Amino acid sequence: MVGFCFNGNCEGNMRNKALIAVLAIVAVAVLYRLFSFTPELVGFSGPTMGTTYTVKFVTNERSPSTIDIKDSVDQVLVRVNKLMSTYDPSSELSLFNKSNVGQSIDVSRDIAHVIGAALKLSELTDGAYDVTVGPLVNLWGFGPGAKEDKVPTQEEIESAQQKVGFHYLSLDGVQLEKTEDIYVDLSSIAKGFGVDQVAATLDSFGIHDYLVEVGGEIRTKGMKDDGSHWEIGIESPGGGHSVAQKIIQADNLSIATSGDYRNYFEKNGVRYSHTIDPKTGKPITHRLVSVTIIADSVMLADGLATAINVLGPKKGLEFAERNDIAAYMLVKEDFGFKEEYSKAFKSYLN
């Protein structure tokens, strides 16, 4: 059979037919993926910020490969650490801490955002939470450098307290300045910010169901692949990592816990917590051993958990009720632990 070309553009027609054929193949492949795809719960983990992180998410027909997602998450966490670590002498925060008094420094928007939130918490708690508590943290051996289980003298404590005071720190947009020789420590809020940043990365990939955890601070969204809820266990201070004091169904939550039962040292029969009260210059001594906070962001929950842990059981609960904060506390008694929680937290309990 002889083919005829009526418009004189046989080559163009052939190209059009080839293009249509390719598009048809692509459409079939896309439709096959859409109708044959089975969501899976996958995950990965790694080291970060002196601790570990874990990401679990449910795949969908548009999500990238797990390797690509992990690479992006690692980049996000490396960046947060490079900005806010006091253990890295070249981090943006370390460079600011080394800057001269009265020198205005332009900082990144992320640092400005976190320090701005920390300053608000410092003001809200009247200094029970103080973003400049670093000199005392370091003095007690819980900061950068070799860890030494040593109780400082009262003179050393009072000397370090002279370098603590959030009111000596001012932030104007992205310009940060100190009016006295202070040392900013974001360890009580940076992990929470890191979780929020990882969650934002997963959102950008179109992932709708996930759990992100960094050092015990957690953000969840959606549900698992089988339609069940994410479940978060609040660790029992007396039972180790695998024992849960309380289980929370957490479908869309930002949650953080602060406690004195992991990071501490003992000297002459006395236990010294890593949580320092800026007003006494010493580790906390009350019986509040664990605070769990649910808030709008993990960064905020992280900072609030530390603040209430410093305030103690009575003042901490009063602070939570006054500010409508969802707080769950474990208070040590002679035998076991007593649960206390704010009205805002009650709806999360099973």
At residue 45, the pLDDT reads: 96
Chain region(s) in the chain for CATH 3.10.520.10: 39-86+187-221, 229-350
Nearest to 217 by CA among 243, 261, 185, 250: 250
Q: Please state at what angle helix 190-204 crosses helix 109-124, rounded to 10 degrees.
A: 130
Out of 161-175, 209-223, 330-344, pick the least confident: 330-344
% of the chain at pLDDT higher than 90: 66
At residue 17, the pLDDT reads: 59
**How would DSSP label each residue in 320-334?**
HHHTT-EEEEEEE-S
pLDDT tens sequence across 195-240:
999 999 999 999 999 999 999 999 999 999 999 999 888 877 765 5
What is the band of 248 on the pLDDT scale with cuts at 50, 70, 90? confident
pLDDT at 249 over 90: no
Q: Is 302 marked as a binding-site residue?
A: yes
At residue 24, the pLDDT reads: 54
Give CA–CA dist 181/163, Å, rounded: 6
pLDDT at 261 over 80: no
pLDDT tens sequence across 52-73:
999 999 998 888 999 999 999 9
Mean pLDDT value across the chain: 87
Give CA–CA dist 64/259, Å, rounded: 37
Give CA–CA dist 75/69, Å, rounded: 10
| Tokens coding 77 | 């966490």
> HSE (CB half, 13 Å, CA atoms) of 121?
28
Nearest to 336 by CA among 266, 232, 245: 245
> What is the average per-residue pLDDT within 280-302?
93
**Residue 155 phi, psi dihedral angles, 5° rounding:** -65, -40
Give CA–CA dist 234/246, Å, rounded: 5
pLDDT at 263 over 80: no
At residue 349, the pLDDT reads: 82
How many residues are present in the chain?
Answer: 350
CATH number 3.30.60.50 is the correct assignment for the domain at 39-86+187-221: no
What is the band of 14 on the pLDDT scale with cuts at 50, 70, 90? low
On whether the CB atoms of residues 329 and 313 are closer than 8 A, the answer is yes
> HSE (CB half, 13 Å, CA atoms) of 331?
17
> What is the average per-residue pLDDT within 107-124?
97
At residue 23, the pLDDT reads: 64
Out of 157-171, 293-307, 325-339, pick the least confident: 325-339
Give CA–CA dist 23/115, Å, rounded: 52
How many Cβ atoms sit within 10 Å of the Cβ of residue 306? 24
Give CA–CA dist 81/184, Å, rounded: 15
Q: Is 306 marked as a binding-site residue?
A: yes
Handedness of CA 158, 159, 160, 166 (dihedral sign): positive
Query: In the chain, what is the straight-line distance between the N-terminal and C-terminal CA atoms, in Å?
Result: 78
> What is the average per-residue pLDDT within 114-118?
97
Class (C level, CATH) for 229-350: alpha beta
pLDDT tens sequence across 298-335:
999 999 999 999 999 999 999 999 999 999 999 988 88
pLDDT at 37 over 50: yes
pLDDT tens sequence across 180-203:
999 999 999 999 999 999 999 999
At residue 334, the pLDDT reads: 82
What is the band of 19 on the pLDDT scale with cuts at 50, 70, 90? low
Give CA–CA dist 73/203, Å, rounded: 12
Owner of token pair 């660790």: 235
Chain region(s) in the chain for CATH 1.10.3980.10: 90-185
| Tokens coding 174 | 């992205």
Class (C level, CATH) for 90-185: mainly alpha
Residue 303's Cβ-count burial label (10 Å; 0-12, 13-18, 19+) is: buried
| Tokens coding 295 | 């808030």
Q: Is 292 marked as a binding-site residue?
A: no
> What is the average per-residue pLDDT within 9-18?
58
DSSP state of 226: T
C-alpha dist (Å) from residue 284 to 11, 22, 273, 288:
83, 69, 7, 9
At residue 16, the pLDDT reads: 62
> What is the average per-residue pLDDT within 22-42?
63
Nearest to 48 by CA among 68, 76, 72: 76
What is the band of 269 on the pLDDT scale with cuts at 50, 70, 90? confident
